[in-house]
Amino acid sequence: MLEIRNLRKVYEDGAVGVDHLDLSIPAGEIFVLLGANGAGKTSTIMLILGFTEPTAGEVLVNGIDVQKDPLEAKKHVAYVSENVMLYGNFTAKQNLEFFTRLSGRRDIPEDEFREVFRRVGLAENAYHRRVKGFSKGMRQRLGIAIAMLKNAELIVLDEPTSGLDPKGGFEFLQIVGSLKNEGKAILMSSHDIFRAKALADRVGIMSEGRILEIIDRDDLKDADLQEIYLQYVERVEAGATSAKAD
């Protein structure tokens, strides 16, 4: 579903956002990009969504090159950001309708909206409420509802549980898990080790734009992910310190 080949992004100021990244996520898999702030997780997502141009390499979504045909590629991607901000003056229903129609789906029956609304755990009475009164957790749920209604094969989640309370985070990840069961390929960036371990089929530890190690689900069970992650972070920090000293 998602193929990333030798992807590299160097920004105008010389900073390397993504460094020779290779990644493949098939349908029905949750891949978690784990990394500290500035590791390159969001840069990777921006490249997948075609928001920035890669310096080298390519991103294929459902076999479509994002660079060459971004509009066609975006039909197969749904995106949920770290802090879903919708149109505050619109009701939840109006936001759902707008973004769903924007994704190319028309004439969706009201029942389907309500069903998705219920599935993401939003209360019935919130359906006609203005979104500006929603908590962050509610907005995140609405964001995932929009992604679900798009019915895209690939769902990209950029630190979606950041700032959510434990219960909210847990419920959110349950929804993500159900999407995997529907055969969606899911790429999620996070720095939440525990949720990554609980949810992911594979975890890629990312630092300085590179995936340093990919841990499979089978290995994840026994792995002390926190230990592994901290080792990498420390190694990177040590590298940075010695480079500075040189």
Partner 1 sequence: MLRIIIGKEILSHILSLRFTVTFMLFLVVILASFYVTVNEHMLEVNRFGSRERVYAEKLSDILKEEQDFGTHGRLERLFWLEGRNSPVPVATLAWMGQGLQGVLPAGINARAFGSQNIDRGLTRNPLLGLLATPDFIYVVNVVLSLLAILFMFDAVCGEKETGTLRLTLSNSVPRHSVLLGKWIGGYIVLLVPFLIATGGGLAYAWGRGALDPTAGNLIRIGLLIALACLYIAVFFNLSLFVSTTTHNSATALLVCLLLWVIFILAIPNLAPVTAKILEPTPALQKIEAEKRAVEEEIELKIDRLSVASGELHYGDKIERERERLTREGERRQRQWDRFYETACERQTELAKTLGRLSPSASWIYAATSLTDTGPAVHERLRESAKRYESAMGEFERAFFRAGRKPGTNEWPEISPDELPVLGLTFPNVQEATKDALNDVLLLVIMNVVFFMLAFVFFLRYDVR
Binding site for partner 1 (CB under 8 A): 42, 46, 49, 51-52, 71-72, 74-75, 77-79, 81, 83-90, 94, 98-99, 101-104, 143, 146, 150
| Nearer of residues 20 and 93 to partner 1, judged by Cβ | 93
Which bin fits 199, alpha (ψ -120 to 50), beta or left (φ > 0)? alpha
| Nearer of residues 66 and 228 to partner 1, judged by Cβ | 66
- Phi, psi angles (nearest 5°) of residue 107: 50, 45
| Nearer of residues 98 and 191 to partner 1, judged by Cβ | 98
DSSP annotation of 126 reads G
| Nearer of residues 100 and 202 to partner 1, judged by Cβ | 100
Minimum Å gap between C-beta 235 and partner 1 is: 28
Minimum Å gap between C-beta 128 and partner 1 is: 13
Minimum Å gap between C-beta 234 and partner 1 is: 29
Q: How far apart are CA 49 and CA 59, in angstroms?
A: 9
| Nearer of residues 43 and 190 to partner 1, judged by Cβ | 43
Minimum Å gap between C-beta 46 and partner 1 is: 5
The answer to whether the CB of 112 falls within 8 A of the CB of 78 is no
Helix (H) or strand (E) holding 83: none
Minimum Å gap between C-beta 208 and partner 1 is: 18
Q: How far apart are CA 235 and CA 241, in angstroms?
A: 10
In the structure encoding, which two tokens stand for residue 59, read together?
């991103």
Residues 6 or more apart from 30 whose CB is under 8 A from it? Answer: 176, 177, 180, 186, 188, 199, 200, 201, 202
Minimum Å gap between C-beta 212 and partner 1 is: 24
Residues 6 or more apart from 84 whose CB is under 8 A from it? Answer: 139, 140, 142, 143
| Nearer of residues 84 and 122 to partner 1, judged by Cβ | 84
